Amino acid sequence: MAKIYQIGAGMIGQTMALDLAEGHDVFLGDINIDDVSDKIKNHPSIDLLKVDAQDIKQVSSFILDADIVLLAVPGHLGFKILKTIIECGKNVVDISFSPEDIMDLNRNAIENDVTVVFDAGVAPGIPNYIFGYHNTVEKITSFKYFVGGLPKFPKGPFNYKAPFSPIDVIEEYTRPARMMINGKLITKPALSDIEIINFNNEIELEAFNTDGLRSLLQTMPHVNNMSEKTLRFPGHAKLIKEYIAKGILQDEGTIKKLFKDWNLEKDEPEFTILKVEIETDEKIISYELFDEFDEVTKSTSMARTTGYTATATINLILEGLFETKGVFPPENVCINKNIFDFILNYLAKRHVSVQKDI
């Protein structure tokens, strides 16, 4: 039983804390502890503490006795806090999805003798683990994935609810999308190259370019074609483009309104879709995940798919399956079948199923 110190008790954070508390002692820190569920407050293996993540001294003091740290704060806060955790000499799994290049902290991690895994969520995260494993056993010529978290019963005008910070969603819509095309790094505007995709002849969605490849552009440059697209209900991208053209998407008033309009209601049904496609000279391998709001636990699909990937990574490190020191994205962690199977089995035991097809 380890002492896991977690920074961030939002929707995903609470799901992770409850999962980790099944086998470990969890110390959960957040600035807003009043809104945390009674399941957390009353859990015998979870200690809830008020921690201001923007106060570096407070963070350093909070994690002093940690065996490992789980970082789950909004992206704009992540890099600075992660650097602090590393300098405190603590192993850490980070799902903040910071816009900075996390690999810049690799030397810090090695010097402080710690293992850091970042982007260990649903996506980036699961596609990276899949890519990393297949890269060890076959020559990949093309890799792409599509991902989206959406309300089951969409309402206009956006037909969207954000299961995580709307600020991070806006960043996703405004940051140029990088991809590899025929061996060259290409940049296109976010929300571009819209295509309609039908899943299981039931759900029609639009897919558009976003900057989700992140570390893969550094770690997999030998793969000539790589891309990532975000999934939304048709018409969403057009509306967002209009907001951007009018210069109002990042207006403070707009952001406040989106926080309200995009906020998932209590127990509101939603779902997560992920499709990964890998091509070699001989075959096409696909993986698909479809997950819905859990009516029993009342946990969102996005919280479960993101959160359980992160907690799987925490346990992977605690069980000694990956001990190399430095900073690693998931594709550089998934270096053998034991690790790949551990991640997928961990998810499957929590009813998050990733189906493979060749």
pLDDT tens digits for 233-271?
A: 999 999 999 999 988 887 888 888 888 888 888 899 999
Q: For 302-322, what is the mean pLDDT?
A: 97
pLDDT (average), residues 132-144: 97
Number of domains the chain is built from: 2
Asked if the bond preceding 124 is cis, omega within 30° of 0, the reply is: yes
Residues 36 and 101 in one domain: yes
Check residue 117 and give its pLDDT: 98
> What is the structure's pLDDT at 145?
98
Tell me: pLDDT of 224 over 90.
Answer: yes
Strand order in the sheet with 68-71: 46-50, 25-30, 3-7, 68-71, 92-94, 115-118, 326-328
For the domain that residue 340 is a member of, what is the CATH number? 3.40.50.720
**Domain hosting residue 104, numbered range:** 3-121+304-357
Asked whether the predicted pLDDT for residue 163 surpasses 70, the reply is: no
Res. 97: pLDDT tops 70? yes
CATH classification at residue 197:
3.30.360.10
Single-letter amino acid code for the residue at 258: L
- 174 and 89, same structural domain? no
pLDDT of amino acid 255: 81
pLDDT digits (tens, 9 = 90+) for 31-41: 999 889 999 99
One domain for residues 26 and 112 = yes
Condensed to tens digits (0 to 9), the pLDDT of residues 313-324 reads 999 999 999 999
Please give the single-letter amino acid code of residue 344. L
pLDDT mean over 28-57: 95
pLDDT at 201 over 80: no
pLDDT for residue 133: 98
* Same-domain status, 73 and 139: no
Confidence of residue 159 (pLDDT cuts 50, 70, 90): very high
Q: What is the pTM of this model?
A: 0.95
Q: Is 260 exposed, middle or buried (0-12, 13-18, 19+ CB in 10 A)?
A: exposed
Whether residue 280 sits in one domain with residue 183: yes
Cα 87 to Cα 64: distance, rounded to the nearest angstrom? 11
Residue 89's pLDDT band (cuts 50, 70, 90): very high
171 and 189 part of one domain:
yes
Same domain, 105 and 199: no
Highest mean pLDDT among 166-170, 293-297, 340-344: 340-344
Q: How far apart are CA 294 and CA 12, in angstroms?
A: 13
Residue 68's pLDDT band (boundaries 50, 70, 90)? very high
Answer yes or no: is pLDDT of 171 > 90: no
Residues 242, 326 within the same domain: no
Predicted pLDDT at 153: 94
337 and 228 in a common domain: no
Q: What is the mean pLDDT of the chain?
A: 95
Pair (243, 214) in one structural domain:
yes
159 and 131 fall within a common domain: yes
164 pLDDT above the threshold of 90: no
Question: Do 204 and 276 lie in a common domain?
Answer: yes
What does the pLDDT read at residue 257? 85
